[in-house]
Amino acid sequence: MKIFLILILIIVNIITSYGLSKLVKEEDPAIFITQHFGIFIPVSKDFHALLGNMGLINTLAYVGKKTEEKGYLSREDAFKVYRSLDTISLLNTSYFDVYYVTNALLTWEAKMYEEAIEIEKRGLAYIKDWRLPFYIGFNYFFFLNNNEQGAYYIKLAMEYDKSKRNNLLPLLASRLYYEEGKIDVAIGILREQIRVIKDERLKEALKKRLESLKKIKAIYNAINIFEKKFGRKPNNIKELEEAKLIPPDLRDSRGGKFYLTKEGKVRSEIEFRYLHTKRNYKGQGLYTD
């Protein structure tokens, strides 16, 4: 009986979507039906998960058709895809695939970063999978240049990753907090992870990052002392060394020398180079470790 009802639902969905699409002259009935959540209100919630699954298949088929025709998704097509994915995530909030597809389709090409984040945040209440807050965090820092929000969600992803398999997460979280000038928070994250992680190779990588951040904190402390003593900020690291405020030839855990930027930020030649975002990314890779 249940299978019969599902088949009836599928047929009704196809007929309804086709009929409604004709009313608005929509050439792709499958994509139209999922753009309007109100259409599904009369349908029993028992079938919402099935409708969500069907909707995602329809949406992917639509994307395939449009990219085959044009080689890309137009802004109009991308908006239809967004509306569809938004509806699907409302129909089946616990369906991880819709958030995966959202991140894949609405960011790099469609440039609908806020819209992607909006949908992905909906899933946080229902799915405890580290990938979901990771997507959100990555979108914040890489596409929207918001390191603070990026760090928050990367840290959440790290907490979700109970098996602690993804060594990128604590390293990336600490890096983003460093970028925001929150060195103590970055150090705190690393210390806690070193305490709980069993993998010795990962623990060693975190210890090296911690060592570098401690040196950076010492340099910032030295800058503050220098400014109070001389009434100005130091022009370079050498002035701090000559004032005997830091040891000579300090290096990060990978051997890179520390230096001061024009803005007064402490960076290093290897471990703490500029973090690439969409604004300055040229395909060289992401400096996260």
Number of C-beta neighbours around residue 122 at 10 A: 18
Least confident of 96-100, 113-117, 198-202, 226-230: 198-202
Please, are residues 87 and 59 in contact by the beta-carbon 8 Å criterion? no
Residue 260 · residue 277 · CB < 8 Å: no
Is the separation of the CB atoms in 130 and 161 below 8 Å?
A: yes
The helix/strand count (H/E) of the chain reads as 12, 2
- Report pLDDT for 25: 46
Per-residue pLDDT tens digits for 139-194: 999 899 999 999 999 999 988 876 556 667 888 899 999 998 899 999 999 998 88
Looking from the CA of 69 toward its CB, the CA atoms found within 13 Å total 9
Sign of torsion, CA 16 18 19 22?
positive
What pLDDT is attached to residue 39? 53
Most confident of 65-74, 258-267, 278-287: 258-267
100-141 tens-digit pLDDT: 999 999 998 889 999 999 999 999 999 999 999 999 999 999
What is the average pLDDT score of the chain?
81
- Answering whether pTM is above 0.85, one says no
